[in-house]
Amino acid sequence: VYQKCVYWRSNNQCKFCGIELSLRYGTTIELKTGMQLGEVAVEAAEEGLVQHLTLTTGTPSGPDKGAKILSEATKGVKSAVKIPVHVQLEPPDDISYLEMLHESGADTVGIHVESFDEAVLKKVCPMKPSLTKYHSVWKSAVKIFGEGQVSSFIIAGLGETDESVTAGAEEMSRIGVIPLLLPLRPIVGTEFESQSPPRPERMFHLYRVVCEVMKSYGIDPRKNKAGCARCGNCSALTEFYTV
């Protein structure tokens, strides 16, 4: 929705993120309005192939971390067509912003930590808040959106240990958050463009372990209403869950 990020302005962006590259290359616009997104949603729904929608944003300045922009975008989509909507943002400074998103019609929310290895997180995502902050916001989000309707990316391939992935998945599953495991996909033009993605054998192992953890807490990604957990194109979590 918003193709800029305050961290790019300060050269403290996440090392793997290419959010402003498409804007630099002139292949998108800075801000997509609710009306524009509503028009797109109508066309997509009429094609009969689109069942839900994901809205993401770069982090703007301000305590809402993009919730206001996403709220208006969600309203625009929902007023045009009745389709489940997933929104993604950094932990806002106040829980009222998550309530705003829910009231605007957002069905699910992604609040992405990226890594549970604190040393890796500090190096790769230097402006991310603490794991303690994430834990607190996740718990509040689950109360607002419901168990299994809140998710968070765990990216394998940033330099983390397998143990940190497992521990993070258990922490999230315990409070009702989907640990959406996915491999690093290096983007040309970012600091991590030459980074190697994790080997398939490692991903197979991690997917199996994370799915076992989720099942032990009764967290089923297939019950997620909208977004990345339901889509499954970036993560094989659902496929491994059903095995």
> 95-119: per-residue pLDDT in tens?
999 999 999 999 999 999 999 999 9
Between 96-104 and 131-145, two packed helices, what is the crossing angle to 10 degrees? 40
Contact, 5 vs 17, CB < 8 A? yes
For residues 47 and 33, what is the distance between their CA atoms, to the nearest angstrom?
Answer: 22
> How much is the pLDDT for 10?
83
> How much is the pLDDT for 184?
97
> How much is the pLDDT for 107?
97
> How much is the pLDDT for 140?
97
What confidence tens digit (pLDDT) does each residue in 160-183 have? Answer: 999 999 999 999 999 999 999 999
For residues 105 and 109, what is the distance between their CA atoms, to the nearest angstrom?
Answer: 11
> How much is the pLDDT for 208?
97
> How much is the pLDDT for 64?
97
Mean pLDDT for back-to-back runs of 10 residues, the chain (243 residues): 92 92 94 95 88 94 96 96 96 97 97 95 93 96 97 96 96 97 96 95 97 97 93 92 83
Contact, 114 vs 123, CB < 8 A? no
Query: pTM of the entire structure?
Result: 0.94
